[in-house]
Structure 1
Amino acid sequence: MKILLLVVGKTDSKLMAQATDEYIRRLSHYVSFEIEVIPDVRIGSKTSPEQQKEMEGREILARLRPSDSVVLLDERGKEHSSMEFASYLQKKMLAGIHRLVFIVGGPYGFSSAIYNAAAERVSLSRMTFSHQMIRLFFTEQIYRAMTILNHEPYHHE
């Protein structure tokens, strides 16, 4: 199974990017994992949040395949403990999913088309974090899940 984290907007924090890259490097021992960045949508001063979500939604949909299992990282999604998230990923792997795509939307969230394209929603927290931080937190949680599934000592209960 390949895991793709699809994100809207680049990161300008070198520190966050370096830390995220370290977890991506560690993940290469367990699973195929990639982050794909959709460039920020160019907006004018008269572009409404709804219009921006629609434009971002079109960019996201253009990168999805019909066979993808799509999960939104959304504050209203299901929260998991690290152990539960590891189990969740294991079930996805055993289900024979070829590409599991997690999506981080833009600053205003997702368009209705993206909500309709997603099978599920997962929340990392009820709190709101910057998109830069979400990349790091999510990548670390994927790594943590892989170490849990492989009975390695990274995670302690």
Structure 2
Amino acid sequence: MNMTIVCIGKLKEKYWREAIAEYSKRLGSYCTLRICELKESRLAANPSPADEEAVKEAEGQEILTHLGKGDYVITLEVKGKRMSSESLAEKVGELAMEGRSDVCFVIGGSLGLSRAVSQRADLKLSFSDMTFPHQMMRVILLEQIYRSFKILRHEPYHK
């Protein structure tokens, strides 16, 4: 299975990069993982709502260019569907059984996702009503993907 994470912004802090590297290494036994970091659009110091919308649209257009026609796209959105770890694992298993080998997770920038990216989603997923830094969300997402594979293979890790 091919898992891609398309995300806005680069990880600057060493501890985030190390966490990503660890989960990427662990996932190597289960899938082909690709992380596509896209450039964050510049936002004025005191942005208007129109400025913020323009940034979301620009980032959204860039995200869309990295989504393949056959990709099963899962966007991370506050108003998305809530799932347990077991439910996410079940979804990953279903996709594999259906022959959907290209799964793409999308993490937007600090302003969220454009309407066009949200509409492209096959599944809108929410991890919480809380807001997390998108750098942290990348680590949480990788951990949950790893947990999904462990659950599917009935391997110890998930409790």
On whether the aligned pair clears a TM of 0.5, the verdict is yes
**Is 1:13–1:132's contact at 8 Å kept on the other side of the alignment?**
no
Partner of 1:103: 106
Would the aligned equivalents of 2:95 and 2:101 in 1 still touch at CA under 8 Å? Answer: no
Aligned residues: 156
What TM-score does the superposition give when structure 2 sets the normalisation length? Answer: 0.92
CA distance in 2, matches of 1:139, 1:77: 18
1:98 deviation in Å? 2.9
| Alignment of structure 1 residues 67-106 onto 2, 5 Å | 67-106=70-109
Q: 2:53 aligns with which of 25, 46, 50?
A: 50
Q: How does 1:1-157 map to 2 (within 5 A)?
A: 1-44=1-44, 48-156=51-159
Q: Does the CA contact (< 8 Å) of 1:8 and 1:104 recur in 2?
A: yes
Which segment drifts farther, 140-149 or 39-48? 39-48
Amino acid at match of 1:42: R
CA distance in 1, matches of 2:41, 2:137: 19
Query: Which ranges in structure 2 are unaligned for 5 or more consecutive residues?
Result: none
TM-score, normalised on structure 1? 0.94
Q: Where do 5+ consecutive residues of structure 1 fail to align?
A: none
Render the CA deviation track for 1:104-149: whole Å, top value 9, x for unaligned.
Answer: 0111111111122112101111211101100110000111111111
- For the residue of structure 1 that corresponds to 2:37, the secondary structure is strand
* Residues in 2 aligned to 1:22 and 1:91: alpha-carbon distance in whole angstroms: 26
1:44 CA displacement: 4.5
Identity of aligned residues (%): 37
Residue type of the alignment partner of 1:33: L
Residues of 1 paired with 2:22 and 2:33: CA distance? 12
Aligned-residue offset at 1:83: 1.1
List per-residue Cα deviations over 1:61-114 (Å, max 9, x = no partner).
111111111111111111111111111110111111131111001111111111
Superposition RMSD on alpha carbons, in Å? Answer: 1.4
